[in-house]
């Protein structure tokens, strides 16, 4: 069979190699990036149609012996759980190339990192061997580190290193967990371990469970490991934020379902109350912090903390419905927040301002952007007809009915309160940025001028004085151009399709979730 999955996963990195070899012609680099990511997306969509929705288990499997000494295999495959995330990542991967079309700084390097990033995320979602999974998991750090520190804004170097250290901290524990699992089972295959169950070993399984969970929790992020997220999301370049919020943090939620819950169903059930509590704290605390923000990107970033709380809630409610909801929420949040960051980036680019207090009335100057931002915002607060509503509804319905522990209903109701907060901060954000009185925007830059002060009679030396003046030039605000409309409308279309006909994804997701639920004994 044709290796669809390898095509999807490795096309972007092939593109980055081509770019690295081609030379620095800007347009050529961008076109190559676009062609490779688009082909990868097409292959991913092809997989979506060829995927057999009637059977459970892995499809499009590819397996080859990789390191015999470690019993490690090059093993790729997708099921209903990972396929939607693979398609989402391929979609975002192509979108960020379009979003970055106006990037002019070190373009070749930029696209090399961007495409490498896409391959590593796709690799995480499709690896069925723990070593391979971990390698993709770690490779992702390097491009992200460079993307934030070179092309970012604000305290970018600080944010980049903070992101790196936090994730490495999490993955250090994850590595210890993987090593313990490897020692316990002698295998690295996720599928075998989930199918065979893990016998009690010298190392307590609870310890292994938490070692692995810390890695996923930092990434998702789970309160109290979330503090890297606002910095990294805020200071990353627009494409970086889209990838981070859209695809990267989903690696955490995916890992929890694929590894933590599937491999340790009993332990997951035992510790579910703890994680549900953290989820509720995350939802409410994240929402409260969002309300306090004035920076448009930071606001979206904090809202992600809150929204990822729903994912955690759905995962550890441990039911068929709640897990399906959590997976759908990951896809939906990827689209909605990806779009929010894209549009926020566009707005910032157009008006040279990111402080909501200094914005206003932009709907009159950039109506299309305002409409798209509003749609994404409304989706994010869970308006019916958008993917956000259906994802949150399924998650809450599932967690309310869950019998994991007695306080599930109370926890769900508390989490639903997060939606009320969301309505507050999102509507307020839209209002502050796009409505109200029109404000003027200026671009400021400092001009230095060297003046000759006086003149020495001997002309040996001329005293000079450097004068700095801040020059403000008003900005002519323009609306989205054709390319920007293309990618914005693609996002909107997907959000609406999933919102109106969710079965397009839930059918697939359910085939992936059912085996997990059976392991849970449900």
Cα of 130 vs its chain's centroid, Å? 21
Site for another protein contains 24 (CB under 8 A): no
Q: How far is the CB of 20 from another protein (least distance, A)?
A: 10
Residues 46, 52, 57, 62: is their CA dihedral positive or negative? negative
198 touches another protein (CB under 8 A)? no
Q: How far is CA 444 from CA 116, 155, 392, in A?
A: 35, 19, 43
Stretch that binds another protein, among 61-69, 303-311, 384-392, 486-494 (CB under 8 A): 61-69
Residue 67 interacts with another protein (CB under 8 A): yes or no: yes
Nearest Cα neighbor of 389 from 341, 329, 334, 335 is: 329
**Secondary structure in 3-state letters for 288-327:** HHHHCCCEHHHHHHHHHHHHHHHHHHHHHHCCHHHHHHHH
168 is a contact residue toward another protein (CB under 8 A): yes
Q: Is 62 in the site for another protein (CB under 8 A)?
A: no
Q: Per CB under 8 A, does 493 bind another protein? A: no
Query: For another protein, which residue of 138, 192, 266, 479 counts as binding (CB under 8 A)?
Result: 138
- DSSP run (H or E) holding 344: helix 320-351
Query: Position of tokens 């990107």?
Result: 297
Q: How far is the CB of 215 from another protein (least distance, A)?
A: 11
The one segment of 26-34, 48-56, 172-180, 259-267 that binds another protein by CB under 8 A: 172-180
Continuous segment of H or E residues that includes residue 474: strand 464-474
Given candidates 7, 100, 180, 304, which one binds another protein under the rule CB under 8 A?
A: 180
Distance CA 165, CA 152 (A): 18
134 binds another protein (CB under 8 A): yes
CA–CA separation, 258 and 520 (whole Å): 13
| Largest CA-CA distance found in the chain, in angstroms, rounded | 96
Query: Is 427 an interacting residue with respect to another protein (CB under 8 A)?
Result: no
Residue span binding another protein (CB under 8 A) among the ranges 135-143, 289-297, 300-308, 351-359 = 135-143
In angstroms, rounded to a whole number, what is the distance separating the alpha carbons of residues 499 and 335? 12
Q: Does 17 bind another protein (CB under 8 A)?
A: no
| Phi, psi at 352, each rounded to 5° | 55, 45
Q: Using CB under 8 A, which of the segments 47-55, 165-173, 358-366, 477-485 binds another protein? A: 165-173
CB 9 within 8 A of CB 132: no
Q: What is the dihedral of CA 252, 257, 260, 265, to 10 degrees?
A: 160
* Cβ neighbours, 10 Å, residue 157: 14
Residue 214 Cβ, how far from another protein at the closest point, in Å?
11
153 near another protein, judged by CB under 8 A? no
Q: Who contacts 509 (Cβ-Cβ below 8 Å, separation ≥6)? A: 80, 81, 84, 324, 327, 328
Options 35, 45, 161, 416; binder of another protein; rule CB under 8 A: 161
Interacting residue with another protein among 157, 192, 266, 479 (CB under 8 A): 157
Q: Between 42 and 142, whose beta carbon lies closer to another protein?
A: 142
Interacting residues of 210 by C-beta distance below 8 A, sequence separation 6+: 173, 177
Which tokens belong to 414?
């508390």
Considering beta carbons, is residue 170 or 512 the nearer one to another protein?
Answer: 170
> Which class for 63: exposed (0-12), middle (13-18), buried (19 or more C-beta within 10 A)?
middle
Nearer to another protein, 97 or 174 (CB): 174
Does position 150 interact with another protein (CB under 8 A)? The reply is: yes
User: Is 216 one of the binding residues for another protein (CB under 8 A)?
Assistant: no
Does position 145 interact with another protein (CB under 8 A)? The reply is: yes
- Does the footprint of another protein cover residue 183 (CB under 8 A)? yes
- Cβ of residue 388: shortest distance to another protein, in angstroms? 35
The DSSP call for residue 56 is -
CA 339 to chain CA centroid, nearest Å: 11
Q: What three-state secondary structure class fits 336?
A: helix
442 binds another protein (CB under 8 A): no
Phi, psi of 72, deg, nearest 5? -100, 140
61: contact with another protein by CB under 8 A: no
What's the closest the beta carbon of residue 179 comes to another protein, in angstroms?
4
CB 44 within 8 A of CB 8: yes
Residues 6+ apart with CB under 8 A from 54: 511
Question: Does residue 175 belong to the site contacting another protein (CB under 8 A)?
Answer: yes
Among 28, 135, 383, 397, binds another protein (CB under 8 A): 135
Residues between 294 and 313 with contacts to another protein, criterion CB under 8 A:
none
Among 202, 451, 457, 466, binds another protein (CB under 8 A): 202
| In contact, 362 and 453? CB cutoff 8 Å | no
Does 164 engage in binding with another protein (CB under 8 A)? yes
> Hey, what are 385's tokens?
């007809």
Out of 182, 210, 393, 405, the only residue in the binding site for another protein (CB under 8 A) is 182
* CA 218 to chain centroid: 13
What is the nearest approach in angstroms of another protein to the Cβ of residue 182? 6
Q: Rank residues 148 and 381 by Cβ distance to another protein and give the closer one.
A: 148
Q: Which of 14, 179, 401, 475 binds another protein (CB under 8 A)?
A: 179
One of 22, 24, 55, 165 touching another protein (CB under 8 A): 165
Pick the closer one to another protein by CB: 202 or 451.
202
CB of 164 or CB of 194, closer to another protein: 164
Residues making contact with another protein (CB under 8 A): 66-70, 131, 134-135, 138-139, 141-142, 145-146, 149-150, 157, 161, 164-165, 168-169, 172-173, 175-176, 179-180, 182-183, 202-203, 207
């Amino acid at each position: 069979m044709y290796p669809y999955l390898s095509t999807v996963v490795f096309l972007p990195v092939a593109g980055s190699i081509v770019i690295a070899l081609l030379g620095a012609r800007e347009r050529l680099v961008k076109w190559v990036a676009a062609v490779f990511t688009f082909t990868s997306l097409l292959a991913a969509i092809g997989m979506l149609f060829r995927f057999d929705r009637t059977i459970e288990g892995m499809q499009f499997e590819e397996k080859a012996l990789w390191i015999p000494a470690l019993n490690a295999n090059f093993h790729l495959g997708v099921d209903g759980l990972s396929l939607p995330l693979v398609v989402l990542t391929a979609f975002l991967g192509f979108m960020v190339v379009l979003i970055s079309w106006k990037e002019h700084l070190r373009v070749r390097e930029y696209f090399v990192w961007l495409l490498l990033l896409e391959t590593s995320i796709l690799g995480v979602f499709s690896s069925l061997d723990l070593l391979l999974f971990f390698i993709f998991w770690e490779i992702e750090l390097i491009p992200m580190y460079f993307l934030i520190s070179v092309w970012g804004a604000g305290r970018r170097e600080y944010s980049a290193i903070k992101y790196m250290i936090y994730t490495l901290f999490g993955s250090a524990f994850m590595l210890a967990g993987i090593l313990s699992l490897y020692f316990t089972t002698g295998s690295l295959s996720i599928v075998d371990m989930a199918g065979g169950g893990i016998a009690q070993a010298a190392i307590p399984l609870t310890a292994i469970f938490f070692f692995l969970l810390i890695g996923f929790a930092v990434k998702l992020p789970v309160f109290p490991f979330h503090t890297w997220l606002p910095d990294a999301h805020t200071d990353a370049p627009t494409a970086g934020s889209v990838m981070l919020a859209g695809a990267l943090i989903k690696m955490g939620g995916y890992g929890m379902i694929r590894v933590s819950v599937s491999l340790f169903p009993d332990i997951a059930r035992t510790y579910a109350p703890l994680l549900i509590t953290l989820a509720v704290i995350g939802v409410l605390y994240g929402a409260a912090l969002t309300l306090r923000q004035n920076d448009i990107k930071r606001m979206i970033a904090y809202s992600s903390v809150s929204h990822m709380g729903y994912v955690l809630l759905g995962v550890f409610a441990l039911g068929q419905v709640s897990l399906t909801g959590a997976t759908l929420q990951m896809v939906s949040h990827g689209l909605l927040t990806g779009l929010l960051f894209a549009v926020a980036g566009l707005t910032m680019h157009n008006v040279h301002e990111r402080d909501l207090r200094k914005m206003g009335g932009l709907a009159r100057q950039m109506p299309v952007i305002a409409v798209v931002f509003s749609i994404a915002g409304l989706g994010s607060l869970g308006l019916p007809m958008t993917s956000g509503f259906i994802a949150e509804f399924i998650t809450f319905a599932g967690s309310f009915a869950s019998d994991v522990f007695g306080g599930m209903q109370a926890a769900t109701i508390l989490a639903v309160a997060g939606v009320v907060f969301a309505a507050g901060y999102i509507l307020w954000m839209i209002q502050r940025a796009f409505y109200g009185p029109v404000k003027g925007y200026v671009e400021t830059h400092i001009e230095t001028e060297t003046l000759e002060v006086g003149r020495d009679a001997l002309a040996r030396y001329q005293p000079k004085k450097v004068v700095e003046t801040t020059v403000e030039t008003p900005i002519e605000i323009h609306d989205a151009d054709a390319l920007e409309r293309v990618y914005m409308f693609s996002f909107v279309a997907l959000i609406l399709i999933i919102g109106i006909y969710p079965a397009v994804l839930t059918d697939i997701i359910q085939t992936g979730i059912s085996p997990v639920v059976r392991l849970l004994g449900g």
